[in-house]
Amino acid sequence: MNDRILRIALPLLMLVLVVLAWDLAVRLYAIPPYVLPGPGLVLATLNADAGLLWQSLLVTFTITFEGFMLAAVGGIVLAVAFNQWRLVEYSFYPYAVILQVTPIVAVAPLLLIYLPQPLAVLACAWIVAFFPVLANTTLGLNSVDHNLIALFDLYKASRWQVLWNLKLPAALPQMLAGLRIAGGLSLIGAVVAEIAAGSAGAGSGLAYRIAESGYRLNIPRMFAALLLLSLAGVAIFFALSALSYLALRRWHESAVRRER
């Protein structure tokens, strides 16, 4: 059978099987909804609470998008600065690493003390998302073909010309790989901060809904919100993959389709 059909059909089949098994288990063992709601109830809740959940999704999505954009710009600008000025790299790189390796769950409560809540959430999304952009872009900028650098030298290219015409385009594949990771991470950052803010905050994001529903033992709504959250993550991943494909399809091995 055609490989492409299988790639789409098999995961769908697995989804149907798992949902059926889930439904069957709930019915067969008569599991109460506050322990495990069936798939039908989750969908019904999704429909009933659509207005509330949709608004929350929008809040989380906006924060994620803002965090991602800041991470993209910050990561790329910092990588270029590191690449252009060695001393800047020496001064700041260790702290970029420290920011990355310190678990965000532990940093979030502190940020919530010093920053207004929306800003703290944004800061969390940014902190977790910027490092992959920085690290990947730096790798790309440093892996330029040395003969091409010699060529630019030969034609007396300025530093700016080397950066704009050689280093940035050469680093594009790695930069896009970094952005793809950052997309998922900025969602995680936003969610972690919302959870940490918990009931104390005035937040109305999806993660806050999950926490709130948990306190109220409204398990079906927890599932519904979780479903929306993972759909948002999938959407982000596909959007960034499409961007990467469009930018690289004509020249980079990773995006070129080969005939066998």
Partner 1 sequence: MTGAPTIVALRNVGKTYDSGTVALDGFNLDVQGGEFVALLGPSGCGKSTVLRIVAGLSEATQGAVERPDGNIGFVFQEPTLMPWASVATNVRLPLKLAHADDAQAHAAVVQALARVGLAEFAEAYPRELSGGMRMRASIARALVTEPQLMLMDEPFAALDEITRFKLNNDLLRVWQELRRTVIFVTHSVFESVYLSQRIVVMTPRPGRVFAEIPIAAPYPRDEHFRTSADYAATCRKVAEALEGAMAEGAS
Distance in angstroms (rounded) separating the CA atoms of residues 55 and 80? 38
260 binds partner 1 (CB under 8 A): no
Q: Under DSSP, is residue 49 helix (H, G, I), strand (E, B) or coil?
A: coil
245 binds partner 1 (CB under 8 A): no
CB atoms within 10 A of CB 245: 13
147 binds partner 1 (CB under 8 A): yes
243 binds partner 1 (CB under 8 A): no
Per CB under 8 A, the segment of 117-125, 149-157, 175-183, 197-205 that binds partner 1 is 149-157
Distance in angstroms (rounded) separating the CA atoms of residues 112 and 119? 9
Per CB under 8 A, the segment of 89-97, 142-150, 209-217, 218-226 that binds partner 1 is 142-150
Rounded alpha-carbon distances, angstroms, from residue 95 to 65, 90, 124, 179: 24, 10, 16, 20
Exactly one of 157, 181, 226, 243 binds partner 1 (CB under 8 A); that residue is 157
Chain positions 167 to 206 lying near partner 1, rule: CB under 8 A, are 169-170, 172
Shortest distance, position 22 Cβ to partner 1, whole Å: 47
117 binds partner 1 (CB under 8 A): no
Exactly one of 47, 161, 199, 254 binds partner 1 (CB under 8 A); that residue is 161
92 binds partner 1 (CB under 8 A): no
1 binds partner 1 (CB under 8 A): no
* Number of residues engaging partner 1 in binding (CB under 8 A): 22
Exactly one of 35, 81, 106, 151 binds partner 1 (CB under 8 A); that residue is 151
Residues recorded for the chain: 260
Per CB under 8 A, the segment of 32-40, 156-164, 187-195, 212-220 that binds partner 1 is 156-164
Nearest Cα to 108, choosing from 196, 34, 14, 36?
Answer: 196
Per CB under 8 A, the segment of 70-78, 166-174, 176-184, 211-219 that binds partner 1 is 166-174
Exactly one of 12, 30, 87, 150 binds partner 1 (CB under 8 A); that residue is 150
Task: For residue 242, give the amino acid letter.
Answer: A
48 binds partner 1 (CB under 8 A): no
Distance in angstroms (rounded) separating the CA atoms of residues 101 and 91? 18
143 binds partner 1 (CB under 8 A): no
Nearest Cα to 193, choosing from 206, 180, 182?
Answer: 206
165 binds partner 1 (CB under 8 A): yes
Binding site for partner 1 (CB under 8 A): 145, 147-148, 150-157, 161, 165-166, 169-170, 172, 250-253, 256
